[in-house]
Amino acid sequence: MARPLRIEYEGAFYHVTARGNERRRIFFSRTDYEKFLTNLREAALRFSVVVHCYVLMGNHYHLILETPKANLSTFMHAIQSGYTTYFNRKKGRSGHLFQGRFKSILVDADAYLLELSRYIHMNPVRVNLAETPQAYPFSSYRAFVDPQQETFVFRDLILSMSHGHESYRRFVESALAEQAQNPSENIYGGMILGRKSFIKEVLRRLEDKDRKEVSHRRALHASAVDLDDIVARVAARFRISREAVRTSFPYRNYAVYLARKRTTLTNPQIGAYFGNVTFFSGGEDGQQAESTYERRPKSATGIAQTGRGTVHCQGLTPMIYPDQSQYRSIVKRLAILLRSFTYVACRLKTLKLRASIVSLQAIFIARRFLHGRFAQTNSSSLRELSVEHCARPGTSTKLSLSS
């Protein structure tokens, strides 16, 4: 079966819907709703898409969007793939979450935007999830009737059509007393909602549209400009070369994360730039990279400025091995620990020979640990490690460890 035609152009308005597979639930908790809204807000900022209103139901959602850059498909892919990754990881499942592709209706904003927003905001009332649209927490309606509420939704256009917050509230809630008309009944060809003049204009756009696609080489060249800037910024942050950012861990992960978050490039484009790297989108790696690179910039900068040891990384969280001045403190603490260990062995009336063996084993383990982790140091504390060994109460034996 052929895919439905996507009509995309700059400044277009859309009514977008998507359902769960087999009409199953896609939201189970408040955290799920909030995660989807977070993805929606971040994607709207990333792709310069205007969100005019929304409602999230149990097994589907409705959005009214405006695309100044004619990028609806890219925007929706970012939202749905990101939420699917989160949902599958949380539920321990795999595969598709949404039923097929999202459905988008091109909307004549001048004629149908106001009516369509009412239809969307009244969805929870029609299916008996709430008595009034304002009682439902997972829609944009509260932001329209309360001017003090913060929201990422652009309210000005719809409110200007209804002449203010209070007028819009009366307009929407008038549908509680009488059955409002469903705007989707006037859809033309399953993809256009508008007046005849609007439909003719859209059909003319389809006929005149240049169907030549940008070549893969030009697309990669255009993407390289943005990625070069990201690599340069990461290199400047950690005071390393650009080549090190492209090839070494964890700096390449930082650059990949920023490229996915700050650009509109696809995963294959980003992977090709970094040497055909394959990576998973979203997940814990992205969250750790965000925490390390963005939320703690001072600590990352401090690593480069102070030069206190070598920067290593476990996962994506940087860790610094201590420098020479810190080795002595570690060795002293280890010696105290070994002394306590052998003392306890003696207090438990362990045989002298067994106590000696246990002590020597502990010393050899310590030696292997110290020479493995801090092999580059010449500290005298590593050359002589004394442990007082109690053969029996009242006597002591001094054991020395030499490198």
Average pLDDT for residues 299-321, to the nearest whole number?
A: 35
DSSP secondary structure string for all residues of 3-17: PPPP---TTEEEEEE
| Confidence band of 20 (pLDDT split at 50, 70, 90) | very high
Tokens linked to 342: 């052998």
Tokens linked to 103: 């459905």
Q: Is 318 exposed, middle or buried (0-12, 13-18, 19+ CB in 10 A)?
A: middle
Cα gap 270→251, rounded to integer Å = 14
What distance lies between CA 62 and its chain's CA centroid?
A: 22
pLDDT at position 284 is 46
pLDDT at position 40 is 94
Return the higher-pLDDT residue of 243 and 307: 243
Per CATH, domain 12-208 is 3.30.70.1290: yes
DSSP secondary structure string for all residues of 106-160: EE-HHHHHHHHHHHHHTHHHHTTS-SSGGG-SSBSHHHHH-TTS--SS--HHHHH
Average pLDDT for residues 33-59, to the nearest whole number?
A: 94
Average pLDDT for residues 58-78, to the nearest whole number?
A: 93
Tokens linked to 113: 């935007």
| Confidence band of 351 (pLDDT split at 50, 70, 90) | low
pLDDT at position 140 is 94
Decide if pLDDT at 101 tops 60: yes
Query: Mean of the per-residue pLDDT values for the chain?
Result: 74
Decide if pLDDT at 24 tops 60: yes
List Cβ neighbours of 278 (8 Å cut-off, separation of 6 or more).
Answer: 271
| Domains in the chain: boundaries | 12-208, 216-319, 324-401
Per CATH, domain 216-319 is 1.10.1750: yes
For the chain, first and last CA: distance in Å?
75
| Confidence band of 309 (pLDDT split at 50, 70, 90) | very low
pLDDT at position 250 is 83
pLDDT at position 266 is 74
Return the higher-pLDDT residue of 119 and 342: 119
pLDDT at position 38 is 94
Average pLDDT for residues 187-198, to the nearest whole number?
A: 87
**Phi then psi dihedrals of residue 317, to 5 deg:** -105, 115
> What is the rounded radius of gyration, in angstroms, for the C-alpha atoms of the chain?
31
Question: CA dist 83 to 36, 88, 98, 311, 336, Å?
Answer: 6, 9, 10, 33, 51
Return the higher-pLDDT residue of 31 and 326: 31
DSSP secondary structure string for all residues of 314-380: ETTEEEE---HHHHHHHHHHHHHHHHHHHHHHHHTT--HHHHHHHHHHHHHHHHHHHHHHSTT---H
